[in-house]
Amino acid sequence: MNEPLVAVKGLGRRFDVSAPWLKRWVERLPRQFVQAVDGLDFSIQRGRTLALVGESGCGKSTVARTVVGLMQPSQGEVRFDGQVVHQTLQSRHAQALRRRLQMIFQDPYASLNPRWQVRDIVAEPLREHGLLADPSDAVQRVGELLASVGLSAKDGPKFPHQFSGGQRQRISIARALATQPEFLVCDEPTSALDVSVQAQVLNLMKDLQQERQLTYLFISHNLAVVHHMADDVGVMYLGRMVELAPKAVLFGSPRHPYTRMLLDAIPDVRAHARVRAPVLGEVPNPVSPPAGCAFHPRCPLAQSRCRHERPPMLWQGANQVACHAVAEGRG
């Protein structure tokens, strides 16, 4: 096996969500923390797509931001091509690393400066990273980048509000590609778009991946989108990875009770689904997650062990699964 391009070990991120100190003092409230991401391990081979899926609030965006270095991890590390991302970003090699990793956000309107012309938005990373031998090269480079995402050089003088949602996401992609990155972290890149437009943008991303040998960490709460994009899929629940497997294995023979619950809730991905069970129950409050296996209040297979002992991630055939029932052969 080759060295993975991206290797994440024991990644954790905690947020202090305490009330302001005066209120805490008057009302004798304790400090409160959310462990948004807890002990995540995964790796991504060059040219492949790992998708992370899970319900809102399970920590997906926190993983995305931590992996690209927008946020410090509280525990663990992210390695990119062997370098520890957060150390490298503090060093004189920061700029060289930042060129190689880019992020695409959910809401292209919020991530594009509305007062800038599209050509300046796309040219900014070229200028910032000193990638233009001559400033007059910008016009041609921007034209090429816009064409590569299905827009036109003629769109350069326009402003973001003159485009549709799908076109705006294409602009974000063009900008992300400007530094010729190897790795893109895509956080719900099409979740704000109409279904018909989603497919076009996803197909564009797949084509670009092929042409440029890109590696993707692709984040979505939508299993149909994940099915379309992923090579491997990680399922998250309350900050933890509960199952990780190649796509065909995860969709064909899911092992974790939570994965099964998610898959049972969508009819079109698994035509041969068993009798469908709805996704039961609410996601618990992440400030005080359930002890043991955090999924136990919603799990049809929960036993007493599940309420106090955290299940480790174990290999079960081609899946990695964190579940006592599966490990005991009753899942």
Quote the crossing angle between the two packed helices 137-148 and 165-177, to the nearest 10°.
130
Asked if 174 and 184 count as a contact pair (C-beta separation under 8 A), the reply is: no
How many residues line the site for ligand ADP (CB under 6 A)? Answer: 13
In the bound state with ligand SF4, the residue whose beta carbon lies nearer, of 92 and 274, is 274
Extended beta strands in the chain, E state? 6-16, 33-44, 49-53, 75-80, 83-84, 101-104, 183-187, 215-220, 232-237, 240-246, 314-316, 319-321
SS3 readout for 199-238? HHHHHHHHHHHHHHCCEEEEEECCHHHHHHHCCEEEEEEC
Question: Residue 254 interacts with ligand SF4 (CB under 6 A)?
Answer: no
189 binds, among ligand ADP, ligand SF4, Mg ion, none (CB under 5 to 8 A by kind): none
283 binds ligand SF4 (CB under 6 A): no
CB-CB contact of 13 with 33 (8 Å): no
* Smaller CB separation from ligand SF4, 217 or 301: 301
4, 11, 49, 62: which one binds ligand ADP (CB under 6 A): 62
The binding track of 281-300 with respect to ligand ADP, each residue x by CB under 6 A or -, is: -----x--------------
Secondary structure (3-state) at 243 = strand
Q: Which of 34, 71, 293, 313 is the binder for ligand SF4 (CB under 6 A)? A: 293
Site stretch for ligand ADP (CB under 6 A), options 4-12, 55-63, 150-158, 246-254: 55-63
237 lies in the site for ligand SF4, by CB under 6 A? no
Q: How far is the CB of 13 from ligand SF4 (least distance, A)?
A: 22
> Which residues from 141-170 bind Mg ion, rule CB under 5 A?
none
Question: Quick check: 208 binds ligand SF4 (CB under 6 A)?
Answer: no
DSSP string, 276-300: -----SPPPPTTSPPSSSTTGGG-T
Q: Which spans of this chain sit near ligand ADP (rule: CB under 6 A)?
A: 15, 17, 34, 36, 54, 56-62, 286
Q: Which spans of this chain sit near Mg ion (rule: CB under 5 A)?
A: 60-61
